[in-house]
Amino acid sequence: MKNYITTPIYYVNGEAHIGHAYTTFIADTLARHSRLIGNETYFLTGTDEHGQKIEEAAKKLDKPTQQFADEISATFRNLWDEFNISYDQFIRTTDAEHKKGVQVAFAKMFENGDIYKDFYEGNYCVSCETFFPESQLMDGGCCPDCGRATTILKEESYFFRLSKYEKPLLDYYEAHPEFILPKSRRNEVISFVKGGLNDLSVTRTSFSWGVHLPESLNEPKHVMYVWLDALMNYVTALGYGTDEAKMDFWPANTQLVGKDILRFHAIYWPAFLMSLGLPLPKHIGAHGWWTRDGEKMSKSKGNVVDPREVSKHYGVENFRYFMMREVPFGQDGDFSQRALIDRMNSDLSNDLGNLLNRIIGMSEKYSDFVINSVDVEKYHTKELNDAHAILDSLDTYLNELQLHRYLEELWKVFSIGNKAIEEHAPWVKIKEGRNDEALATVALVANLLAKASVMLHSIMPSTTSTIADALGFEITTKSYTKLIVNKELLESFTIKKIPPLFPRVDEPLMQEAPKAMLDEAPIAEPKPKMEDKKETTVSEEGLITIDQFFQTSIKIGTVLNAEEVPKSSKLLKLQVDLGEEYPRQIVAGIREYYSAESLIGTQVCVVANLKPAKLMGLLSEGMILAAKDSDGLCLVRPEKPRQSGSSVG
RNA sequence: GGCUGGGUAGCUCAGCUGGUUAGAGCGCUGGUCUCAUAAGCCGGAGGUCGGGGGUUCGAGUCCCCCCCCCGCCA
């Protein structure tokens, strides 16, 4: 079976971020899995390099446009190489074959009457490369997407008869419920199309950095609309319009996109394909976005997650496992070091890594590292059957792009292993001289690990290869067939004593940006061991009663305004809302650590029933709580915003 | 404003066409084993299933109203 998987081509207006990595990881996982189970697989990714925005960005840097595109494109490609992405082709829309292919497609659409010439006039956003109707513009005629100013543009343009495909598209969605995944997105697309489709302007004369129209049309002024150009990459990569040798990979099985570009892929793209008489892809999968510590990422906030940075500190495959496991396909996910660390420790170290270590230890003590499956079926049919049932069910999840469920299920195999060891306690059996039984349990777990590793391989290719190597086999289509399809067991082998694959992570490995650090939930102290527990951890001396404590009124305050106190290097004068009629004026000695601007709009804890005092002649009606150590001072703040005036205690 | 989807344990979520004491993972907590990476295993606490009506012998699950969140569209 042929299986074609694509990511979108990434626009070269900036470097790769976590979203690009996420899409690419999913696609790579699908591609690797497809190859593993023996499909003939083609995995495409690449870069989208045309358009006015690129032309202008290059001009700003005083670089030739092509050179600019070359450079950014290379950063993507390098990152994917660094991340061990198994793409078969990295296409660029500036590739000669691609341009040729798009022209062939354009000519064909023109010939069959789906493209015609007219005029377009409207408010155009250069940044988004989109026209917006008057009604959609924001105040002052700004772009509703990016907020930048739009300009009125009237230009001669070729149009694609999108309106003609309204009905065929709706019919197709109806007949193919699995075309758009997840379902919630499908509904959105359908309701959009039902709202009516306008013909699509597909050429521009306002800039020249793009694919020119076919020579037969003799329209040197026009270049193609970036989306027509970009979308066609999925077939030009296979040689559409040039050398069509690979076109038998079409239609694609799965085309992954971010939710922001679903409309283009679920409406325009299938319409183009219909016009060209090509079949439509089986699935368009729209995934969600990532936030950081619960907040939207943006350059201005400085909280953007650099995938390279994360993988450098935590390992690409751990990062990748986290992304695939953490969030249901289609949903937005939240990245935080805490969540990543929790996943790594709990799933990878405790469940998987430790399990491998357990059998290494036992086989060392009981059988000089030799593991033999001879007696596994005799003593552990139940466990084997349970595990096989789980392994058999996994494909379903993968087909629905439910990778988190896939992993969730797969992990039950490790659980079977851990439970089996407990239940059969090989160390007891050895003492009783029932060596066969003890060794059978060890071998059972080795087999469970082997089988699970095969199924984990497409998500953690290198790590699972290491596991397989320790278990004396190699993960290939052949071993997949043997261990998973035919449910066979491992040959006798000598297990390798390898150091722990997933050392526990006790504290964040990555330096946080200052802002993010404030927002990061405090890392829980490792809980003290039972025997360390004393009656109390404080001496009786100087203790107060709870009533005494509540004599202090601590409230949450929102900083409405902040300014520096003249002639003072330490003091800031704040106006803080405590939910009272008027804000309090509070003078605080925190200027060395916090700028006035950075405080406005944030929340602090305030001692509200403190006798007012004068500092530098200014009245201060409260005290702000802060903690100080040798590294400096930081404010004590609510973890999440609370209403001004909420009491703390 | 229109249309989807959703509001279930501290957190993230599962609960199909209504049916015994509402589930999982993580977290918290008690116990326990010792092969193992302060890992594993067993047990426990914790939910008026957004609110209010209604249908029904019986509703988280169906109907109506209201509140709130996300998304798409305007």
As for the ipTM of the complex, it is: 0.93
Which of A38-42, A65-69, A444-448, A575-579 shows the lowest per-residue confidence on average (mean pLDDT)?
A575-579
% of chain A surpassing 70 pLDDT: 86
Cα(A270)–Cα(A197) distance, rounded to whole angstroms?
Answer: 13
Nearest-nucleotide field for A328 (CA, C1'):
B13
Give the residue ranges of DSSP H helices in A315-460.
316-326, 337-343, 354-367, 376-399, 403-424, 426-431, 435-456
Nearest to A96 by CA among A88, A107, A84, A104: A104
Q: Which helix (H) or strand (E) holds A276?
A: helix A269-276
Residue A59 has pLDDT above 90, yes or no: yes
For A244-283, what is each residue's pLDDT tens digit?
999 999 999 999 999 999 999 999 999 999 999 999 999 9
Lookup: tokens for A560: 């409405």
Q: If we measure between CA atoms, which residue out of A434, A638, A488, A464 comes closest to residue A36?
A: A464
Please tell me the least confidently modeled range out of A153-162, A374-383, A512-521, A524-533. A524-533
Indicate the pLDDT class of residue A571, thresholds 50, 70 and 90. Answer: confident
Nucleotide nearest to A339 (CA to C1'): B26
Averaged pLDDT of chain A: 86
Helix (H, G, I), strand (E, B) or coil at A626: strand
| pLDDT number for residue A457 | 97
How far is A49 from A568, CA to CA, in rounded Å?
53
| Separation between Cα atoms, residue A555 and residue A189, nearest integer Å | 47
pLDDT of residue A252: 97
Provide the CA A406 to C1' B18 distance, Å, integer: 30
Tell me how long chain A is. Answer: 649
C1’ B14 / CA A286, Å: 22
List the nucleotides on chain B closer than 7 A to a protein CB: 2-5, 13-14, 25-31, 33-42, 71-74
User: For the residues A82-93, what does the mean pLDDT come to?
Assistant: 98
Residue A604's H or E segment, with its range, is strand A603-607
Residue nearest to nucleotide B31 (CA to C1'): A530
Task: Report the range of poorest mean pLDDT among A27-41, A326-340, A503-517.
Answer: A503-517
How far does the CA of A644 sit from the C1' of B68, in Å? Answer: 21
Give the relative orientation of helices A403-424 and A316-326 as an angle to the nearest 10 degrees: 100
| Beta bridge partner(s), residue A181 | A285
SS (H, E, C) A68-122: HHHHHHHHHHHHHHHCCCCCCEEEECCCHHHHHHHHHHHHHHHHCCCEEEEEEEE
What is the mean pLDDT of the segment spanning A395-414?
92
From first CA to last CA, the distance across chain A in angstroms is 64
**Rounded to whole angstroms, what are the CA distances from A564 to A296, A502, A588, A618?**
30, 49, 10, 12
Question: Å between A355 CA and B43 C1'?
Answer: 23
State percent of chain A over pLDDT 90: 64
Structure tokens at A349: 């170290």
C1' nearest to CA of A333: which nucleotide?
B12
A570 has a pLDDT exceeding 60: yes
Element (DSSP H or E) covering residue A256: strand A254-258
Q: What is the pLDDT of residue A42?
A: 98
Confidence class for position A632, pLDDT limits 50, 70, 90 = low
Close Cβ partners of A187 (under 8 Å, ≥ 6 residues apart): none
Measuring from the CA of residue A357 to each C1', which nucleotide is nearest?
Answer: B36
Q: How many CB atoms lie within 10 A of CB A597?
A: 9
A198 burial type by CB count under 10 A (0-12 exposed, 13-18 middle, 19+ buried): exposed
Distances (CA, A) of A117 to A223, A239, A637: 13, 28, 61
Give the model's pLDDT for residue A425: 95
Q: Name the nearest CA neighbour of A459 among A406, A397, A500, A413.
A: A406
Tens of pLDDT, residue by residue over A317-332, are 999 999 999 999 999 9
Q: Which residue is nearest to nucleotide B11 (CA to C1')?
A: A339
Task: Write down the pLDDT at residue A470.
Answer: 97
Place A128 in a pLDDT band, splitting at 50, 70 and 90: low
Residue A138 pLDDT level (bands cut at 50, 70, 90):
low
Distance between the alpha carbon (CA) of A321 and the C1' atom of B18, Å: 39
More confident site: A577 or A58? A58
Q: What are phi and psi of A335, to 5 degrees?
A: -95, 130
Spanning CA of A292 to C1' of B5, the rounded length in angstroms is 24
Residue A630 has pLDDT above 60, yes or no: no
A279, with CB counted inside 10 A (0-12, 13-18, 19+), is: exposed
